[in-house]
Amino acid sequence: HDPTRIMVGPRLADPSLLFLLGTDQLGRDTFSRVMMGGRVPLLVAFASLGSSLAAGLVLGLIAGFGPRWLDNLLLLLFDTIRSFPGIIFALAIIGLLGPSLASMIFVIAITSMPIYARVVRTQTEALRNSEYIAAERTLGAGTMRILAVHVLPNVIGPLLILVSMDVPAVIAVEAGLSFLGLGVRPPTPDWGAILNDGYNYIQQTPWLVVGGGIPIVLATLGFTFLGEALRDMFDPKLRKDL
């Protein structure tokens, strides 16, 4: 069924062979909306974390290899962003820009960026002061070569672990914002919006809440297990212990 079509069936119909999860208050097929509702949280997660990863990587490299005054300035920027509670910052930005997909991606990218930047900066600064980097400089290696050959391979692993572990949190944040009506606008299917629709009829049609909640739980668990697998793969200390 078309997940956005109104009155495709009776309002608040019970689950059946025709409507596996019943219908919502507008007669829309809940199962179709649940199946299509995963596109928004996954898009928000990958777009926001991809943007924050790219920005954090660049700023972290600049902070780690740049002059001390620039490092201090960037650290001040990171600390300033992180000093605001995430949900308060999100509500303020979305209230200013208006509820939309772009607003959610922007606010999550901004709040996540300092974490990745600090990881890159710490790794870069440690490598910058290492003996083999000093030897590379003695042999005439430039900064760009050192960053590309020695620094990037050492920071990619920890960053991938962080991103995969942050995906569940972003999915939960997106669902929470959509539940509050601050996500994508109707009639676009979204898990958080499905939860919001079902909450008003939870005693009459509890399967609406179940239909919106179970995919969120499964998605967060799946990406959590993926993050743990990547951590086991990229963490040499953990591999040694095993």
- For the ranges 13-27, 68-82, 197-211, the lowest mean pLDDT is seen at 13-27
Residue 10's pLDDT band (boundaries 50, 70, 90)?
confident
SS3 content of the chain, % helix, strand, coil (to 5): 75, 0, 25
Which pTM was predicted?
A: 0.81
Residue 121: CB atoms within 10 A of its CB come to 25
Domain ranges across the chain: 41-183+222-241
pLDDT score recorded for residue 34: 85
Using a 10 angstrom Cβ sphere, with 0-12 exposed, 13-18 middle and 19 or more buried, the burial of residue 212 is buried
User: Is a pLDDT exceeding 70 seen at residue 40?
Assistant: yes
Residue 237's pLDDT band (boundaries 50, 70, 90)?
low
Q: How many whole angstroms separate alpha carbon 95 and alpha carbon 113?
A: 21
Q: Report DSSP state, residue 29.
A: B
Query: Which residues are within 8 A (CB) of 50 and not within 5 positions of it... i.e. 6 or more apart?
Result: none
Which of 112, 108, 115 is CA-nearest to residue 182?
108
Residue 113's pLDDT band (boundaries 50, 70, 90)?
very high
User: Is a pLDDT exceeding 50 seen at residue 239?
Assistant: no
Read off the amino acid at residue 11: R
Task: Please indicate whether residue 239 or residue 107 has the higher confidence score (pLDDT).
Answer: 107
Superfamily of domain 41-183+222-241 in the CATH hierarchy: MetI-like (1.10.3720.10)
Task: Please indicate whether residue 91 or residue 143 has the higher confidence score (pLDDT).
Answer: 91
Q: Are 154 and 121 in contact (CB under 8 A)?
A: no
Mean pLDDT on 137-144: 72
CA 174 to chain CA centroid, Å, is 9
Task: Please indicate whether residue 44 or residue 17 has the higher confidence score (pLDDT).
Answer: 44
Q: How many whole angstroms separate alpha carbon 136 and alpha carbon 215?
A: 50
